[in-house]
Structures are given as C-alpha cells and as structure tokens.
C-alpha cells in the first residue's frame, strides 16, 4: 500500500509557500503594517496585549471590544518581553513592528489551513480530482482581509481569519472538541462570529444522528456543550440587552431596518455588497434556492450570512457606512459550504463559481493596491495632487499603471527598506514626503531581515519546484519507453 505523502513535502505546499513569499515581497506595506497609528480599535487590542504581559499602556476608549486577538499575540509577547529586558529596548518599541509581521504570518498560516481543509473535504467526498493550489490562493485573496494583513495589521482580523480556518479544519476532520474550542476563541475575538458556535453544534448534532447513542450519553454530550457555551451565551445576551455594543443594542438594530439602509447596503459605492462582495452576496441567493438539499451545517452557515447582512444594513443606517471586514469569518464558511455542495453542482455551475472566485480575487487585490485611502495618500504625495478626489485618483491609477506599480513597488518590503536605508540619497529625492513614514532602528532591521528571508525562500522554493518538474519530465520519458518496450514484446 502506497503511503500518502506528508502535506509539507508535496509540490502543492511548495507552490503555496511560493505564493506567500511573492505576496509578502510585493504587497506587504510596512509603512503602515509595522507602525501602529494607535487609533480606533487597534489601541484597545494593544492595551489588552500589554495588560496580559503586565506592561503599562494607556487605556482604550471602548469596553465593547474583546481580548481574543491579544491572547493570540501573547506567546510572541513573552519572548519579546524577555528579549526587551536582555537588550534594553523598550517593550512597546519591540512589539509593535513584530505584531505587524505576526499578522501577515497568521494570514499565511490560514492559507495552508484552508487548503488542507478543502483537500480533506474532497477526500471525504471521494473526489479524485481536486483544484490546483492556485485556486486556494485565489480563495484567500477573495476574502476581505487583505487590508488587515498587508497594511492595517493591528486589528483583530488576521487572528479571526486563522481561528475560523482552524475551526472548520477540525470540524471537517470531526475533531469536535478542538473545533468548539476555536469557535469559542473566535467569538472572544470578534462578536459577529458567534454564529460559528451554532455551526459547530449543528455539525456535532448531525454526527450524533449517524451514531447510535443511549439517552444518557446524549444528555452528557449536550450538557457538556451547554456548559462550554453558557459563558458565551450570557456574554452575548448582556451585550444585546444590558451593556450594548459601542452604545447600540439589539432592539436598536431591529427598529432601524428600512429600505434606505437596504439600498445602501447593497448599492453603496463604499462597501456596498454588489460592488465589493458580490460573490458573498450571490451565494446567499444560490443557497436559498437549494434549501431542500442543504445539511444542517450548511443551513447554519446560511443563517450566519443573513445575520451579518442585517448588521451590515443597520450600520449604514446608524453610521452612514459599513465595512466588509464584517464578513471575513463567514467567507470561509461560505467556501466550505460551497465545496460541500460541489459534487451536486453541474459542470457549468462549478465553472461559474470558479470564475466568480477569480474575478473577486483580482478585484480585491487591485482595490487594495490602487483605490484605498492610504493608496490615495501615496498617490497625492508622489504626484503633488493634494486635492485629488477619490474617483479621479482611481481612474488615474487605472489609466496610469506604471505610476501605480511604481508606488506599490516603493511601498513593498524591498522598496521601502531600501528607501528607509537610503532616503537621503539623491535618487530618492522625489519621494521626500515619504521620509516622515520611513522605518528606523529595530523596525527597519526587522523588515530588512524578513525581506531577505522572503527573497531567499522564494529562490529556494523556485529551485525546488524546477528540480521537481525536471525530475517528473525525466520519469515521464522513462515510463514512455518502458511502455513502448512492453508493447513490442
């Protein structure tokens, strides 16, 4: 019997690693990703992180944000705290740039976890053919987490992405205790991911329906699940009806729903679903037409989408805008549900969904490069157009790809580390306004180290893949001649 090759030794893993290196070297923007602005939610997460390690830090403005992301940063914090005392560098000065890099590493780990989950799911379905590693990469690029792993890395979303990925990985492999553990941790990271707990419980219920259990065993299992979930349910109930979330209660959301909010939630140029999350939006309607054929787990995922859709609409009503980072966790659920249903789809439907994934990945990446607020600031600083409007800058970036790519290259790890090291040289004089954003000291050397590591692994992996391809070609030729000899005999 042939042994299944270890995942980490397969060409598939090497290709995904190559994509990670290429993404880091081209899209990771250390100018923001390794230097916190200490604004909005990130201050609260950094405060929790310092508090867990007994380090002083100013209190954040909100008590509605959770501490799950700080717990994920905690192990690296222990190492940095010891290193800080050893070398005499202030703890915060060490941790801020490292957290920015850790968020990208969490994004990379999520890529491998999602790929392994989809592979395991395909094997359970008995599928011999499986999509290439490039499609897994496109799946991750389709998720609206790009801004929070390449640029604004001090939010909770990189951790959220990894935790949800691990939840579904263990769920697909029927390791329910670990799946429930990561689902609970995910909720303590992002409030809007509480339906993930329901999804895990539905999957457990489906599994128990296939196994003959005594009444006592069923009571014991559901009691254990209830005890684990009780603190979360109580916390969620208090947020909905007692303390609120940043001043809003569940009743406020329900009362505020109207057609204007629905229209904005779907059609608004700023994170309207039709323009920015059409894949996620259309999947709701697709699965609504397949209700009779969906499992309880898939129905729970669909319910998660509807809950987030209502929240998305209500945010347009309350604040006048919403952001698609609300959907990050549910995107993974949608992909899992989609691939669970894959064998039941027609060939044409499968191709349409793959096309949607490819288009979504391209649009998400291009929007990150060319049309975000920091991207516009970079455009203004390098062209002198201080009063350029958002739409005008987007059009100019699309029609001037050379300038857009020049800016992107300047913000990439290689370009930005070179600029930070040699910003006083004449060649960088036209980027004089970047000097206030350049990295210095520990942050600069850390970025330079990771940049050269990325280049080294990129070359090494490319060489390994080239050798593997050459070996496969040689084996194919040998097999061909052996078959020819057998046929002649």
Last residue of a domain, one of 342, 370, 398: 370
What is the structure's pLDDT at 93? 83
Within-domain flag for 166: yes
Within-domain flag for 16: no
Residue 444 belongs to what domain range?
Answer: 439-472
Flag the least confident range among 149-153, 206-210, 446-450.
Answer: 206-210
Residues 84 and 92: their CA atoms lie apart, in Å, by 9
Within-domain flag for 413: no
Could you tell me where the DSSP H helices lie in 156-295? 157-172, 176-187, 195-209, 215-238, 250-256, 259-267, 273-276, 278-288
Nearest to 295 by CA among 253, 337, 248, 234: 337
Our measurement of the distance from residue 303's CA atom to the centroid of its chain's CA atoms, rounded to an integer in Å, reads 21
Same domain, yes or no, for 360 and 447? no
Judged against a pLDDT cut of 80, whether residue 106 lies above it is answered with yes
What is the structure's pLDDT at 2? 40
SS3 35: coil
Judged against a pLDDT cut of 80, whether residue 419 lies above it is answered with no
Residues 280 and 322: their CA atoms lie apart, in Å, by 15
Number of domains in the chain: 2
Judged against a pLDDT cut of 90, whether residue 284 lies above it is answered with yes
Same domain, yes or no, for 184 and 84? yes
Q: What is the pTM of this model?
A: 0.85
What is the structure's pLDDT at 1? 37
Q: Are 160 and 147 in contact (CB under 8 A)?
A: no
Instruction: State the average pLDDT over residues 332-350.
Output: 91
Within-domain flag for 346: yes
Q: Are 331 and 280 in contact (CB under 8 A)?
A: yes
Last residue of a domain, one of 340, 370, 400: 370
Within-domain flag for 69: yes
Same domain, yes or no, for 151 and 299? yes
Q: Assign 3-class secondary structure to 186-224.
A: HHCCCHHHCHHHHHHHHHHHHHHHCCCCCHHHHHHHHHH
Within-domain flag for 409: no
Q: Are 75 and 159 in contact (CB under 8 A)?
A: no
30-64 tens-digit pLDDT? 777 887 766 667 888 888 888 888 888 777 776 66
Q: What is the CA radius of gyration of the chain?
A: 24
Cβ within 8 Å of residue 355, ≥6 positions away:
none
Judged against a pLDDT cut of 70, whether residue 323 lies above it is answered with yes
Last residue of a domain, one of 322, 339, 370: 370
Within-domain flag for 487: no
Instruction: Classify residue 423 by burial, with Cβ atoms within 10 Å: 0-12, 13-18, 19+.
Output: middle
Same domain, yes or no, for 287 and 156? yes
Same domain, yes or no, for 249 and 344? yes
Within-domain flag for 276: yes
């Amino acid at each position: 019997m042939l042994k299944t090759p270890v995942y980490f030794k397969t060409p598939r893993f090497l290709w995904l690693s190559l994509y990670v290196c290429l993404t880091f070297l081209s899209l990771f923007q250390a100018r923001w990703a390794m230097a916190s602005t200490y604004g909005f939610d990130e201050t609260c997460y950094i405060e929790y992180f310092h508090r867990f390690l007994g380090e002083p830090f100013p209190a954040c403005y909100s008590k509605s944000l959770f501490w799950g992301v700080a717990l994920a940063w905690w192990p690296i914090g222990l190492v940095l705290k010891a290193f800080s005392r050893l070398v005499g560098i202030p703890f915060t000065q060490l941790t801020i740039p490292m957290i920015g890099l850790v968020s990208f590493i969490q994004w990379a780990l999520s890529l491998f976890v999602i790929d392994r989950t989809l592979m395991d799911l395909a094997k359970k379905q008995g599928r011999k053919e499986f999509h290439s590693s490039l499609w897994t990469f496109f799946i991750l690029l389709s998720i609206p987490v790009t801004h929070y792993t390449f640029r604004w890395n001090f939010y909770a979303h990189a951790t959220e992405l990894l935790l949800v990925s691990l939840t579904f990985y263990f769920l697909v492999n029927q390791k329910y205790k670990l799946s429930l553990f990561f689902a609970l941790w995910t909720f303590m990271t992002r409030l809007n991911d509480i339906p993930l707990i329901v999804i895990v419980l539905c999957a457990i219920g489906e599994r128990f329906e296939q196994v003959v259990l005594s009444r006592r065993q069923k009571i014991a299992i559901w009691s254990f699940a209830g005890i684990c979930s009780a603190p979360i349910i109580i916390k969620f109930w208090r947020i909905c009806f007692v303390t609120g979330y940043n001043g809003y209660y569940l009743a406020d959301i329900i009362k505020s729903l109207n057609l204007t909010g629905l229209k904005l939630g779907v059609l608004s140029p700023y994170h309207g679903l039709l323009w920015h999350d059409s894949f996620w939006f259309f999947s709701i309607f697709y699965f609504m037409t397949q209700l009779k054929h969906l499992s309880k787990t898939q129905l729970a995922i669909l319910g998660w989408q509807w809950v987030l859709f209502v929240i998305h609409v209500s945010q347009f009503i309350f604040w006048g805008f919403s952001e698609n980072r609300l959907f990050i966790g549910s995107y993974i659920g949608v992909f899992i549900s989609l691939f669970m249903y894959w064998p039941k789809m027609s060939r044409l439907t499968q191709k349409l969904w793959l096309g949607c994934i490819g288009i979504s990945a391209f649009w998400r990446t291009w929007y990150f490069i060319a049309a975000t607020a920091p991207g516009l600031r970079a455009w203004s600083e390098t062209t002198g157009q201080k009063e350029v409007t958002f739409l005008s800058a987007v059009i100019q970036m699309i029609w001037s790809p050379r300038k857009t790519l020049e800016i992107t290259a300047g913000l990439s790890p290689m370009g930005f580390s070179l600029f930070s090291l040699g910003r006083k040289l004449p060649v960088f004089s036209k980027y004089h306004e970047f000097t206030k954003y350049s990295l210095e000291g520990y942050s600069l050397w850390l970025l330079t180290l990771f940049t050269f590591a990325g280049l080294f692994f990129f070359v090494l992996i490319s060489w390994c893949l080239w050798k593997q391809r050459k070996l496969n070609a040689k084996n194919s030729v040998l097999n061909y001649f052996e078959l020819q000899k057998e046929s002649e005999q």
